[in-house]
Amino acid sequence: MIPSIPKLEDYGLSANYGFLPEHPPLARLENLYYAPWETLLENLETLIKTQKVREWVNALPILTPDKLASEAEQRRAYMMLAFMTHAYIWGGINVCEWLPPAISIPFLRLSETLQIPPVATYAAVCLWNYSLRDPDGAVDDPENLESLLTFTGTEDEAWFYLISVAIEARGAPTIPLMLEAMRAARGGDIRTVKDCLSIFSSRIDDLTLLLKRMYEKCRPHVFYFGIRPFLAGSKRMAEAGLPNGVFYDTGSDDDCYREYSGGSNAQSSLIQAFDIILGVEHYPTGQKKDPTVSSLEGTAPPPKHNFIQEMRKYMPGPHRRFLEHLCLIPNIQSYAESQSDDIELCATYNKCLSALEQFRAAHKAIVARYIIIPANQARQAKLDPEASKAVPIRNIASTMALESESPPAGGGHGLASNEAAKNGLKGTGGTQLMPFLEQSRVETLATTIGDRVPTKTESTTRHPPSPNGFVRTCKVNEFEDYISPAIGMAGSWEDNSEVGGLCSY
């Protein structure tokens, strides 16, 4: 029996806001019990600048989440603890691999409740981290949005988060739209399917235009050297000083080091839903679809270990389960294939794929400008002593509102800034990142019906994972212990991906 079409309300989603909360996130926890958290976050930028954030966190009382009265309050608390966690780890001269009980205890509790890992996820920095300037204004207008929390206090950082929020809001109506298309396909209503696909492709085009607005208020060098380092994860970060990850100290004998990926736009359930609905399949970088393996009745194939699949573990539990449900039902690609004689239907479906491919191409261009180019500039400055003297590096803990259009290049001591430069200098300066993004783009067009589009791309050769390139992670929520091979975007780049920040759709 084919599973039913998922109902949005069963997964905490809405037709108007999609994966965003039905109401804007809370700007403050009103219960005075949580005043110590609020006070620290109000001063976070200054505490990072003066390198006192750890001192303040160490002085915090251990607060229980039990006094949080609603899911909205739980989300606010989770977001606050995520920012405290990353500020504590990365906001000093040296990296810190130990997280004190004042953060670890409530953060792990909320992680279990919200079914999402205790780290600065996409939900923490984007979905649950915005307010409306005009309550009656549009949620999909980044000019009408403000970030509730940032590490740096810069408009660049806020804009980086808010573009994603606006994309989520503008893309939200496409989810019920395409569920209706899938429902119509079951009933053989080909006219409705065509109409839905036509609207869908236009909406994706809108999202691409919105994504390109990133350039307006987020400067590449500020992002790369000032923002991206704070979004770093703890997985495969030995060179940065986290050989085992981060120790979440709760005072229990069961405490252990934990390894998590950093915040990533690939944790957006919206874009993954687009892939599932259109039948787009992704594979570990350098691998292709096995033509001998077919999926059942047009449903998504059994998951393979790759970066995009792994990122689902970092979504809120209900969002993840929605995608899992979506994978169980026949997608639009299978229906279009079955009606391949209908030229209009196939053309409309292919137009959706083309729109999504253009979205990924726009994202790839942003990654090149915001990560690859600054990494190469930092490496070149390191190799050229004269260039290093010309543009002294700024300490991220003392000056986070970077004004110079030149990339930092010299000596400085802010850890997050130094790690960005050091990892940008490593190896080929990001050449493993671009093949991943290019493969994702090409895979988007691979299900084109009719004449196949060219799929030739730059080399996707990767370094094979080392024999000991496996890590053990602790059980968190319903996540089981698993062996995580060093493949995919979170794997063995030569330009270390886990420094954090702008990641892949």
3-class SS at 18? strand
Angle (CA) 439 324 5, round 5°? 115
> Residues near 55 by Cβ (< 8 Å), separated by ≥ 6?
none
69/71 Cα distance (integer angstroms): 7
Give the H or E element holding residue 147: strand 145-147
Q: How many CA atoms lie within 13 A of 219 on its CB side?
A: 14
80/97 Cα distance (integer angstroms): 19
363 in a known ligand binding site: yes
CA separation (Å) from 23 to 33, 138, 419, 470?
Answer: 24, 13, 37, 41
Nearest CA to 309 out of 340, 252, 267, 341 is that of: 267
Angle (CA) 117 123 126, round 5°? 145
Which residues face 247 on adjacent strands? 98, 257
Which residues face 14 on adjacent strands? 18
Give the H or E element holding residue 159: helix 155-171
Give the H or E element holding residue 248: strand 246-248
Name the residue type at position 61.
Answer: P
Angle (CA) 436 312 373, round 5°? 30
29/31 Cα distance (integer angstroms): 6
Count Cβ atoms below 10 Å from residue 69 Cβ, excluding itself: 11
CA separation (Å) from 61 to 36, 120, 300, 494?
Answer: 8, 21, 47, 41
Q: Which residues are annotated as a binding site for heme b?
A: 363
Q: Which residues are annotated as a binding site?
A: 363
